[in-house]
């Protein structure tokens, strides 16, 4: 029943899946390949909410998460002079999320490191329990390596790597993100491209040194031309900058095909003269080393497997950053896939079919976005910006966010998709 498994991607999903698989069966031979030369620890804040936190609890990581949370105190809408127009607090105490900021924010690097170290720790435990005898199974990470070709039959998948090596695996798991190369190789370029559904918004993310006086409040700024800037730092020494644009799509799409310097220049052109602290953020962009830009969209594909290649996390069902559910869906996906593989005891075909069916309800729920939300958050004119700011001021003045927070049901008490129980996973907290 032990399998030879290749996981592509060492972000949130890959190490979480590796850990869960080793709890279920220490005899699995697991290889995780990551095309980056080392663990990718750059990135912005992530939300751990809904089913994500209980899954981490089941894995015995609750205390680790609590010690790493970012102390963000809410969100301010600001005008071109930086003055606060409206303020909204965080969603707390396990309530169903409705706001940008929650009390369970964590930096991506902290979460990825935690999951990576957990997988290594689990492997050490297995080896220790074997004593002087040879432990069954294995776990290895290969950085600076990626898939270049794959072909499969009824019994396995043959894979060629950029390193020049090749291997045969019982199962290949694509956990390599929205632009998954593994999905493109297995499904074909046309089907893979068709799975991407653009939301018409382009984004750049990076970090700059924190300025004096920047506190725990995130700040949201709108400028005419459907441009928005989000700044957040919580209690951290670096300020996270998010640039969002709904216009100049042609310029930005072309830039994604070019070096990072050209991408920065394209965003500089789009945001020139936007107001507020934009000049500081654009200067900081020139000097940052964690810049990342892309077109925001959702990945929709069904079923989530083809033969013995399966999609997990953003590679199969990216919900888009505005839902705040990407991390949660990645953890759900890793948990359900590992659970179904354990439950079906080596019957990979049945396990993948069950995984694709079980995970569909939370995917459909968390990919839902109100069309009016996106258009309303990115007004194109000065009048539109003025209307949005005044609407935010009214809601803040009436303390609507506090009222909503009081009446919101706790997560899991309102019919939300229940986490399946998989005793076959042999998790420490179950």
What whole-number distance in Å separates Cα of residue 95 and Cα of residue 405? 7
What whole-number distance in Å separates Cα of residue 20 and Cα of residue 89? 35
Residues 6+ apart with CB under 8 A from 363: 317, 319, 329
Q: What is the pLDDT of residues 5-54, one digit of tens each?
A: 999 999 999 999 999 999 999 999 999 999 999 988 677 888 888 888 89
Whether residue 182 is predicted with pLDDT greater than 70 in this model: the reply is yes
Q: Say what the pTM is.
A: 0.91
| 8 Å CB contact between 114 and 122 | no
CB-count burial class (<10 Å; 0-12, 13-18, 19+) for 207 = buried
Going across the sheet that includes 84-88, the strands are: 84-88, 74-78, 217-223, 227-232, 238-245, 196-209, 292-299
**DSSP class per residue in 306-335:** ETTEEE-THHHH---GGGS-HHHHHHHHHH
Q: What is the pLDDT of residues 71-94, one digit of tens each?
A: 777 888 999 998 999 888 766 545
Residues 6+ apart with CB under 8 A from 164: none
**DSSP class per residue in 57-100:** HHTT-HHHHHHHB----EEEEE-TTS-EEEEE--B-TTBPP-SS
Q: What is the pLDDT of residues 343-400, one digit of tens each?
A: 999 899 999 999 999 999 999 999 988 777 777 889 999 999 999 988 888 888 777 6
Question: CB atoms < 10 A from the CB of 358, how many?
Answer: 16
Q: Which residue has tokens 């924010």?
A: 105
Instruction: Provide mean pLDDT across the span 128-150.
Output: 90
């Amino acid at each position: 029943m032990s399998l030879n498994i290749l996981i592509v991607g060492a972000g949130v999903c890959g190490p979480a899946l590796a850990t869960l698989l080793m709890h279920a069966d220490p005899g699995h031979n697991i290889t995780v390949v990551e095309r980056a030369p080392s663990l990718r620890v750059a990135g912005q804040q992530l939300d751990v909410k809904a089913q994500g936190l209980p899954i981490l609890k089941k894995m015995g990581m609750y205390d680790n998460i609590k010690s790493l949370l970012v102390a963000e105190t809410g969100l301010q809408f600001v005008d071109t002079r930086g003055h606060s127009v409206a303020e909204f607090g965080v969603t707390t105490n396990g309530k169903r999320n409705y706001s940008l900021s929650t009390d369970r924010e964590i930096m991506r690097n902290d979460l990825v490191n935690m999951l990576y170290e957990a997988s290594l720790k689990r492997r050490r435990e297995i080896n220790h329990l074997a004593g002087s005898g040879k432990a069954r199974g294995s776990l290895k990470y290969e950085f600076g390596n990626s898939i270049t070709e794959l072909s499969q039959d009824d019994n396995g998948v043959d894979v060629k790597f950029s390193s020049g090596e090749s291997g045969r695996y019982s199962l290949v798991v694509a956990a390599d993100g929205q632009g998954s190369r593994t999905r493109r190789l297995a499904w074909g370029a046309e089907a893979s491209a068709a799975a991407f559904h653009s939301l018409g918004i382009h984004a750049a993310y990076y970090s700059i040194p924190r300025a004096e006086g920047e506190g725990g409040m995130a700040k949201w700024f709108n400028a005419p031309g459907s441009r928005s800037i989000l700044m957040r730092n919580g209690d951290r020494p670096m300020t996270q900058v998010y640039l969002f644009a709904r216009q100049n799509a042609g310029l930005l799409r072309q830039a994604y095909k070019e070096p990072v310097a050209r991408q920065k220049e394209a965003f500089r052109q789009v945001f020139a003269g936007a107001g507020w602290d934009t000049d500081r953020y654009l200067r900081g962009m020139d000097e940052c080393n964690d810049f990342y830009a892309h077109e925001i969209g959702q990945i929709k594909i069904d079923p989530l497997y083809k033969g013995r290649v399966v999609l997990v996390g953003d590679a199969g069902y990216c919900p888009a950053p505005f839902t705040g559910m990407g991390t949660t869906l990645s953890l759900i996906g890793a948990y359900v896939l590992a659970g179904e593989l354990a439950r079906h005891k080596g019957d990979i075909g049945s396990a993948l079919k069950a995984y694709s069916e079980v995970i569909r309800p939370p995917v459909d729920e968390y990919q839902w976005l109100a069309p009016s939300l996106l258009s309303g958050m990115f007004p194109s004119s000065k009048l539109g910006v003025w209307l949005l700011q005044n609407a935010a001021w009214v809601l803040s003045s009436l303390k609507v966010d506090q009222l909503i927070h009081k009446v919101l049901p706790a997560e899991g008490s309102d019919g939300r998709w229940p986490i399946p129980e998989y005793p076959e996973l042999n998790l420490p907290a179950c």
